[in-house]
Amino acid sequence: MINGNNFNSLHYKPKILVTPLDWGLGHATRCIPIINELIYHQCEVIIAASGNGFFLLKKEFPSLVILRINSYKIRYSRRKSLLLFKLAVQVPGIAISIWREKLWLKKTITKYKIDAVISDNRPGMNNKKISSVYITHQLLIKTGNSFFEKIAQKIHYHFIKKFNYCWVPDYKVNGLAGELSHQDNSPLNILYIGPLSRFELSNGMQEKYDILISISGPEPQRTMFEKKILSQLCNFNKKVLLVRGLPNQHQDLKTDNELIKIINHLPAHELNKAFQQSKIIISRSGYTTIMDLVKLGKNAVLVPTPGQTEQEYLSNYLMKKNIFYSVEQDKFSLDKIYNYAPISQPVIMERGMDVYKKVIEEFLLSLKPCSLQTH
């Protein structure tokens, strides 16, 4: 078992850079258990983030050094039919962002004496001078078009192979992400680390809310979903907690309905508690949220972001497995929530979700003393 004493006996603490993509909050939130485990092993963790992920992680880890980096600034279309085109025209900008982050990382390694980097879906965050880990559950990137999926996969694999390791947060067999995380032609540096969740299941938690609604994801769809929810909450007669997914927003929305509580953001430990105090969860079908729901065994209704093919696939896949109920955003109605919910049954996990801890332990042991002391 590796612990802080092992590192202290060598008179150093490895400096690990953790840097998530800012496409929604999912990449940042699933890095929380990774960061906590690194801290447990007395590593010196430095975080680099952008967008709302920056503010989320700053609130979670106020004592850590958190660097602000350039955002990919990925935008969705308001119309599902134009999404593929909207994303395609952003490809040159994404390529420039990857190039810039490679230059940024090179300078940061020298400035902060970084020993290793763990990148959640930031393909430019690798350097031959240090050990690098890439986290992704998307070995297959769903585009809605098989031809473009093959091209996207080849490009993604090109970047994955530049890292020493690729950690896939799913089970190796009977995974939660289906074919997204399980491909026959996957790169050799793939390692399944089990699902990641920032949450912990507590005993004896009293039910406080009938429904918890978690709104997240990139704009403009986050705001569009929020407006739809708010319009339906006016005369709703159940106790509801609405979490807007806006960690950088300081002024909460007000409502005349005393049964409704609206909060911009909750830190992980408070959201963990709120999830367990709620009978039904309504959320996007982002993979990070799915892992959290599974960890807690919660009854949930998933509303995928329109046009986000990954979320549409995940929600359909999990509905077919009778794990969660899924409904499209334009068809969603709070008045029908109790028609949806009985189909969704709480998931009882028979497999542990702590595999990643052993993987991190082995990764830290693999860091060579020479690479930790010289660059």
pLDDT at 372 over 50: no
pLDDT of residue 285: 95
Q: Which range has the worst mean pLDDT, 5-9, 198-202, 258-262? A: 5-9
Neighbours of 222 (CB within 10 A): 21
Distance of CA 116 to the CA centre of its chain: 21
What 3-state DSSP class applies to 262?
A: strand
**Greatest CA span in the chain, whole angstroms?**
65
Least Cα distance to 200 among 353, 346, 24 occurs for: 353
The structural domains of the chain, ordered by start, are 4-196+353-370 (3.40.50.2000), 209-343 (3.40.50.2000)
Nearest by Cα to 274 from 290, 253, 298, 308: 298
266-322, pLDDT tens digit by residue?
999 999 999 999 999 999 999 999 999 999 988 899 999 988 889 999 999 999 988
Contact 121, 27 (CB under 8 A): yes
pLDDT beyond 50 at 375: no
Question: 194-204 pLDDT, tens per residue?
Answer: 999 999 988 88
pLDDT > 70: percent of the chain: 86
CA distance 197 to 57: 15
Q: What is the mean pLDDT of the chain?
A: 87
Q: How confident is the model at residue 341 (pLDDT cuts 50, 70, 90)?
A: low
User: Could you tell me if 211 and 282 are in contact, meaning their C-beta atoms sit under 8 angstroms apart?
Assistant: yes
Q: What is the mean pLDDT of residues 330-338?
A: 91
CB 186 within 8 A of CB 161: no
What's the confidence (pLDDT) of residue 251?
83
Model confidence at 71, pLDDT cuts 50, 70, 90, reads confident
pTM of the model: 0.88
Q: How far apart are CA 314 and CA 68, in angstroms?
A: 31
Distance in angstroms (rounded) separating the CA atoms of residues 369 and 45: 17
pLDDT band at 373 (very low <50, low <70, confident <90, very high): very low
Check residue 215 and give its pLDDT.
93
Write the pLDDT tens digit of every residue in 30-67: 999 999 999 999 999 999 999 989 999 999 999 999 99
- DSSP secondary structure of 85-127: HHHHTTHHHHHHHHHHHHHHHHHHHHHHT--EEEEES-TT---
Report whether 282 contacts 213 (CB < 8 A): yes
pLDDT in tens, 81-120: 555 555 666 566 678 888 999 999 999 999 999 999 999 9
The alpha carbon of 17 is separated from its chain's Cα centroid by a whole number of angstroms, namely 17
pLDDT score at 228: 95
From the CB of residue 330, how many other CB atoms can be counted at a distance below 10 Å? 10
